[in-house]
Structures are given as structure tokens and as C-alpha cells.
Chains A and B, each alone.
Chain A
Amino acid sequence: MSGGPRQADIGARLTFDLGKAGRTACSLPPCDVPEADLPPPSLLRRKLNLPELSQVDLVRYFLALSRRNYSVDSGFYPLGSCTMKYNPKVNDKLACLPGFSGLHPLQPLETVQGALALMYNLQRWLVEITGLDAASLAPAAGAQGELTGILMIKAYLAERGEEGRTRVLVPDSAHGTNPATAAMAGFEVVTVASDSQGNTDAQAVASALDDGVAALMLTLPNTLGLFDPNIGRIAEMLHRKGALLYGDGANLNALLGRARFGDMGFDIVHLNMHKTFSTPHGGGGPGSGPVVAKGHLAPYLPTPVVAKEGEGFVLATPERSIGRVGAFYGHFGVLVRAYAYLRTLGAEGLRQVSDNAVINANYVLARLRQAYHLPYDRRCMHEVVFSGSRQRAKGVRTLDIAKRLIDYGFHPPTVYFPLIVDEALMIEPTETESKEALDAFCDALLAIDREAEEEPQVVKEAPHTAPIGRLDEATAARRPVLRWRRGGGSES
């Protein structure tokens, strides 16, 4: 028997419920200065309802919660499009060095030269990896990198008197962030269909392309895990019409050391440090989404960028910068980890990353294609998208397959995305997984396919081994309970 909260009802009791008046988990120094007068009570807080826990109860509570999480360190986590690779421990340790974690963003620049040198080098390496000209590390996450990039395009076009370009083209296979970003930047979104091969339909791009188009947002390889061989032609088409090519770098893991965005005609891209460069995903952030641009867009980069001045480094504002996207300089703590990752791998190692990511995905493709429908029947890059349509015909949905995988000890792949694939199962193994891990995962999916035939109920009622069963999401949305209240009352 373990101490601490019982597993069965842990969800029902929060820190607010577990405490007792008078307990505390911290100790603070006594006041060593004469106390000043406090303002009148009308300006002060009357009550503060925070938990009152002893330190050991607090630790046990959060430890118990941590055991209810699946993570990369627990096992295989092939969540497509999220690049859940192993996160090296040394990188975490280095980011916590007091010489990094103890730096105030506004302290004199001469006292932070090591940090600026790190950022400067990271900017240079991202430029080299992408084949573009200049980088800013300021964006906080991929989605903010997208917004930054599209705002730079907007500012660039405005400066050229081309405000008439009010539309952004987005393929139907794109991440939801792409259209949401374009809308946030004030553009009208035009969806472009994919062709029967899973590529961007060049014909559809051509017919949507006129003087009103600002840019095409393209993920390469796309969310089907496919590299679009027409990329050069598409870039040319856009540029001939005065439009720009925006790259969503979410899938850079497939291209490291193989091909570069700049060479292929992209004008600007954002990268995801937490995907490609292996910084921990944190349960949903913090990420980091640097943007890298060609020369004509470089003056519009957000402030600050790190520049070299003589022997030292400074924070600079590009000439026509779109301004700030965050209070300071981006997620420095994440950037330290990305720097450490790049230094560990070097050029040869990065190429090994993409080689193994692509081999692993194609191996999964090869092992599962007999049992699962492959909507685009060609070799993939770093991820493979199957459809659960055959299993659905037997009454088992992709959601059921995902839940059943939990019983086999795996994190399910991304499901029901991309939207253009019916009952999609999007599997991204990443390069850090071994053949044995892939075999075990494929064996599980093959077993589930047999179960769908022989005992579908087992699949449809999964998971059977998780700490909790399928949750009632409909009620959660209809009658939202979004915070703790004394006595457990609900909202509104």
C-alpha cells in the first residue's frame, strides 16, 4: 500500500480539499525592516482562498498526479505532427545552470554576453539549417512564430503599396493554426485542395492565384507526411504573381541536412524548437517558435535580434521591425536546450536524425499496410497517415483503436487529423525509437485489427487498464465546471 491520496478518487479531491487551516508547505524569513503602514482595509484583500497543505501532503499529491500521466519517458508516444522524440536530460540540466536561469532580462548587456553569444550562434545555425538569411528567436511557440511571419509579410506588402493583397492560401491538409493565424493577421483565408497524390494541387493554386493573394502557407513535408515534389514550381508560380511562400516548419525533422527551405523558394519559415530540436513538450508548452526569413523580409523581423558589435553582442531592432511579440526575448530557457541539442548532433548527427525518422515511419508503413488502409499509397517521410476505414466497416472507429492502444501500453497516434483523411491515424515514430519499439507498436495495431474482427466490444470499450475510463465530454462542454468551488458546486 502506498501512502497519499487513493487512486480511485484522486480526481475528486484537489489541493483545496486536502488541506487544513493552519498548515503550510513553505517557510519564509521574518520581516527584518520596520513595518510600514498598510493602506486602508478597503484597498486590501479580505480573504484569500488558497490551499493549506503540509509539504509532504503537497509532494504526495503531485506525485500521485504525475503517475496518471503518460509521457515520452514512460513509453512510445507516436503523436503525429508533434515530434515526440526523446528529450536529452543533460539539456535540461544545462538550462538550469545559475549562469542562465538567474539572468534578469533587463540587466546590463555586458553582464549577459554568454547568453547573447548562445542566442547569436543559434540564430546563425537556424539560418544555415533552413538556407535562409536572418532569424529572430523571439516567438514563444510555433503558433506565435506563424503570426510573426504572416505579420512580417503583411508589413512588407504594405510598405510596397500592396495592401490589396488581402488573401492567404492554405491547403486543406494544413494545421488549424495556419488558417487561424492568417485570420488573426487580418487576411481572408482561401482553402486550396490537395490532389489525388496528397500533394498541393498546383492547378488549384494557379486558379486561386491573382493580385489579391499575399501568400501561400505550406507545411513541408505536409501533414500527410508527404514531400511535395512540385514545391519548386509552386514557389515560382507564387513569386511570378508577386505573392510570398510561407513555410510551416513543424515537419523539419524529415529534412534536416537533406533539403533547405531557402533553396526551395520559401521566403520565411517558423521552426518548432520543441519538436525538431528536442526540448520537452511540458504537457503543452513552453515551446519556442523562431522565424527565419530571406533578406527582403529580414528588416521586418520582430525585436529584438542578437547582433554582433565589435567583440561583443547587443540586442538590436531590425530597421522595419513589426515590433515586439513578447515582453522580452523569447523562451531563453528553451533555446539553451535547443542549442545543446544542436551542439551534440552537429551536421552529421542532424542528417542521421532525419534518416532515422524517415526509415522508422516507412517501416511502420510497411508493417501495417496490409491491415490498415493507406489513403495515399506512396512512401512517406517522417510520419505516415493511415485511415481506419476498414475497421470502421466492422463497427470499430479510429477513436476506439486509439483507446485500445492505451491498453497495450502505447500513447495513441494523432487521430482525425489531417481532416482530409477519413478516420485518420497519424503516426510519427521519430528517430529516437528502436526497431523493437516499432515492432511492438505495430504488433499491437495488428492485434487490434484482429480484435475488431473477432471481439469488437473489447476495442469499443477500451481503455480497460487506464486510471480512468472514457470521460463524458458532452456534459463537460454543456454544463462546464471549470474551477474548484467549496462543496463542489458547478458554474453558472
Chain B
Amino acid sequence: MTSWATPYIANTEADHQAMLAAIGVASVEELFADIPAEFRIGELGLPPALSEPELVRELSALAARNRPVDGMPCFLGGGAYRHFIPSVVGEVIGRSEFATAYTPYQAEISQGTLQTIFEFQSMTCELTAMDVANAGMYDGASALAEACLMAAAISGRRRIALLSTLHPHYQAVVRTYAFGRGLAVDVMPPDGLALGEEHACLAVQQPNFFGYFLPDAEALARAVHAAGALFIVSADPISLGLFRPPGEYGADVVVGEGQSLGSPLSFGGPYLGLFACRQQYLRQMPGRIVGRTSDAQGRTGYVLTIQTREQHIRRERATSNICTSQQLVALAATVYLAAMGKQGLRQVAELCYHKAHYAAQRIAQLPGYALALSGLFFKEFVVRCPSASGGPSEVNRALLARGIVGGLDVSQYVENGLLLCVTEMNTREEIDRLAEALAGFGGGA
């Protein structure tokens, strides 16, 4: 053993000697004796260790090679959104009592985590207008995939139907999960719905990948139910501050990406899958669930419950293999929703709506530009770029050169389509700057 020291290991050389003596071995090597000699290795080929100041320097240099969107006007969405995060969120999730605990198996010393999960489940139910919610899943896409698997398990049917306006990455994740269970995936255009007796569900996104709401969600729900399938809605939780929740128009399962609720963009993760459903599907739900109960003295407390669905009890017959619940991210969402509250969430949603419509209107008036789609949208919309602009990717490049993060190039779905996102974080001045810059690429065509 060398005298090399790290701040993360407590034992000293003298401790080692005392401990090895208590164990009854002469050296640490003896403790590794079960590893056959042919598999023992020399030193790993890794870069040399860094002290804390050196580490901070290296990571800061790596961070400096990136251009975070927070420093620029940003109109990029597409499944990850820049929304305001109140300072109280970071303060609460930064508490190491929350951050450095684990799954609350020992309820008596985990009431903090358990009660916040109960809060989270309650808020998710309120937002979506569903009966029950789980403690959280990895992200919106995997929550949707799990919902599709759940529908297949409930119905015994072997095909999953997706509306084509669902985020392409979400479609891809559903395909990956469906491959495991041997389920077929059918993608259907909104105007060509063809549900049959083999379909377990239809999954839609509200608003859809392009930012628009279904023209008649209730009629669609009726059609899905008439086919004996489950209606799964992947909803933007911020939109639910203003718009009617899926539980009110016939959804059986509601999932969504919870990153917007108090978590940074963080290059795509960790995010948060929201998952809620109707009461009758409770025992088929994947994921952790917390319930309220009491101790012998009648004090209210919370425990993990309905665990006979889960892998640690049911093993191969579990509803899912998931163990974690993105707890710290779900806590961020809980604090966010508590901080925003009844008025705040509606205000955020209204700001997004008004600003996005202002931006859409300004851009649509520019020579050569038009809104590519019609209907009701929330905070995202698709602009058709003029052909003289060189297309959306050129437009984005030119915007970046002017210090603006443009939209998402969706030209593979919509001719010359640029998907723009406007949230409460965008000021009028930023939107005007965007419009002025775009005007310059139009070529007056």
C-alpha cells in the first residue's frame, strides 16, 4: 500500500495495519485471492489524478468551450425548454439531506423524501386531471414507451399506434422498447387513423412536435376507445397551466417531460418522466408509488406502496424493471410547482402563449416567410423559410453568427420548416432582433 492520499478515503496506513491484523491477513492482496491470477491487472491507463484546484481549472476550461444558450437569445425547443427556474428550487434540491439519500426503503428516516414524492404525485394528478401518478420516470420519451408497454399488458394486444406528429425521438424510444416485448409499432397520420382490434393504444403529443394542438381531442379519444384501445397523451406540463388537461378529454394515461418544471437544459439530462393514469390501471403502473398511512401513535407518515408490481418483489413478472424515480429532478418539479402555484403557472403559460404568437405574427409578415401550419399552437410553431434563405439550416447558421440561437431544422418533415420556440424567457427585444435578422436573409422573395 502506498502513502498516496485522497480526500475521499479516510483510512490511514496505521488503520490499514490494524484492520488487516483484525481480519487476519498480512496484506490487502490476500483479500483479492479469489480473483484468478490470469485476470489480475497492472495499473489502468488513465490520466494522472488532479487536485481540486486543477480539477476546477480543467472542467472550467471544458465548460468554456461550450456556448450555453442562457447567454444568447434562444428560440430552440423540440423537447427541451428554457423556462425560468426560481432560486428556491436550487436551494431545496441542493440540501444534501435530499441529494445524498437513496430510495426511501427505511420509511422512519426517509419521511422527507417520501412526503415530497406524495406532493409530486398529487401535483401531477392535479396538472393532468388523472387519478393516480407514480413518483417519476427517466424522461418524457421513456415514460411514453412504458405507457405503451402498459397498454399492451392491459389489453393483451400486440400493436402500438403512434400519431405521426409525435416527437421523432419519442417514436424512436417507443420502437426500442417495443422491440423488447416483440410489439409492432404503427405510425399514423392525423388524417389517416386506422386503428384495428390489435391496437393496444394510440399515443399522441399535446401540443405536438410542431407545437400545435389536436383539432378535436375529444373526437379522437372517442375513436380510440371505440377501437377498444387506450388513449395515451404526452403533454407539455407548462401548457397545462393554461390549457385543458388531458384527463378532461378522455386520456387514459398521461405522460410528459418534466424538465420544464424547474430543471436546467443540462445538454439533455437528467430530465423527468411524468406518468399518470386512471385509477383502474394502478396495479399495472410502472415505477415507484408512495402512499399515506400512519404509525401506531396515529402520526401521519408515508411509505413506498403497491410494491408487488415492482422488480425487487416480482422479478420477471414485474410491470417494469425500473427502480429509480429521478427523485431529485422530481423534487425540483415539486418545488417549482409549489413556488409557481396556482397563479404563477398560468402566468408562465400565458407569457409563452402571447410571446410565441407575437413572434409568429411578426415573422409571418416578413417577405418570403410564412407560418407553415395552421391551427392552435402554444409556444412552438413552424415557419417556412424563404428558398432564397438557403433553408432552415442556413438560417440557423446565419442567426448564430449574429449571436442568436435559432430554431430546429424540421425540413425533413415540413418543406423549409424551422421550428421556433418562444418562452417567458424571451423578451420582446429578443423577438424583434430575431425578426429583423430573419428579414435580412429573406432576399425579399
Contact B39 A264 (CB under 8 A): yes
Contact B71 A463 (CB under 8 A): no
Q: With A and B bound together, what is the CA distance between A261 and B322 in angstroms?
A: 24
A440 within 8 Å of B by Cβ? no
Contact A90 B56 (CB under 8 A): yes
Contact A325 B125 (CB under 8 A): no
For the complex formed, measure the closest distance between the CB of B8 and the CB atoms of chain A, giving whole angstroms.
6
Contact B11 A473 (CB under 8 A): no
The 9 closest A-B pairs by CB, nearest first: A328-B268, A99-B63, A102-B68, A114-B65, A346-B49, A285-B324, A105-B268, A282-B328, A69-B112
**One of B33, B318, B337, B428 near A180 (C-beta < 8 A):** B318
Contact A28 B100 (CB under 8 A): no
Contact B47 A346 (CB under 8 A): yes
| Number of A positions contacting B (CB below 8 A) | 204
Beyond A102-B264, A482-B132, is A344–B8 a contact (Cβ under 8 Å)?
yes
A169 within 8 Å of B by Cβ? no
Contact A71 B312 (CB under 8 A): no
Determine the residue in chain A with the shortest Cβ distance to B292: A481
**One of A141, A283, A431, A472 near B101 (C-beta < 8 A):** A283
Contact A117 B65 (CB under 8 A): yes
Contact A435 B19 (CB under 8 A): yes
A237 within 8 Å of B by Cβ? no
Contact B63 A114 (CB under 8 A): yes
**One of B32, B47, B311, B328 near A143 (C-beta < 8 A):** B311
Contact residues in B for A87 (Cβ distance below 8 Å): 96, 99-100
B26 within 8 Å of A by Cβ? no
**One of A53, A99, A186 near B66 (C-beta < 8 A):** A99
Q: With A and B bound together, what is the CA distance between A34 and B357 in angstroms?
A: 9
Contact A26 B86 (CB under 8 A): yes
User: B290-324 interface mask toward A, CB cutoff 8 Å, 1 = contact, 0 = none?
Assistant: 11111111011111011110111111111011111
Q: With A and B bound together, what is the CA distance between A115 and B344 in angstroms?
A: 33
Contact B342 A73 (CB under 8 A): no
Contact B269 A181 (CB under 8 A): no
Contact residues in A for B60 (Cβ distance below 8 Å): 94, 97, 99
Q: What is the interface residue range for chain B against chain A?
A: 35 or more
For the complex formed, measure the closest distance between the CB of B387 and the CB atoms of chain A, giving whole angstroms.
22
Please choose the segment from A200-208, A348-356, A388-396, A447-455 that sits at the chain B interface, where 4 or more of its residues have CB less than 8 A away: A348-356
B193 within 8 Å of A by Cβ? no
**One of A24, A79, A406 near B343 (C-beta < 8 A):** A24
For the complex formed, measure the closest distance between the CB of A460 and the CB atoms of chain B, giving whole angstroms.
12
- Known interface pairs A353-B8, A482-B289; 6 further A-B residue pairs with C-beta atoms within 8 A, sorted by A's residue number: A12-B299, A53-B341, A186-B181, A285-B326, A331-B269, A358-B28
Contact residues in B for A457 (Cβ distance below 8 Å): none
A-B contact pairs, 15 of them (CB 8 A): A25-B341, A100-B267, A103-B68, A125-B46, A142-B323, A143-B321, A144-B142, A226-B34, A259-B39, A328-B269, A330-B269, A333-B267, A343-B58, A362-B19, A435-B18
For the complex formed, measure the closest distance between the CB of A25 and the CB atoms of chain B, giving whole angstroms.
4
Q: With A and B bound together, what is the CA distance between A185 and B99 in angstroms?
A: 32
Contact residues in A for B355 (Cβ distance below 8 Å): 31, 33
Contact A186 B315 (CB under 8 A): no
Mark out the residues of chain B between 41 and 90 whose CB falls within 8 Å of any chain A CB in the assembled complex: 41, 43-50, 52, 55-56, 58-71, 74, 76, 78-80, 82, 84, 86, 88
Contact A140 B270 (CB under 8 A): yes
Contact A345 B49 (CB under 8 A): yes
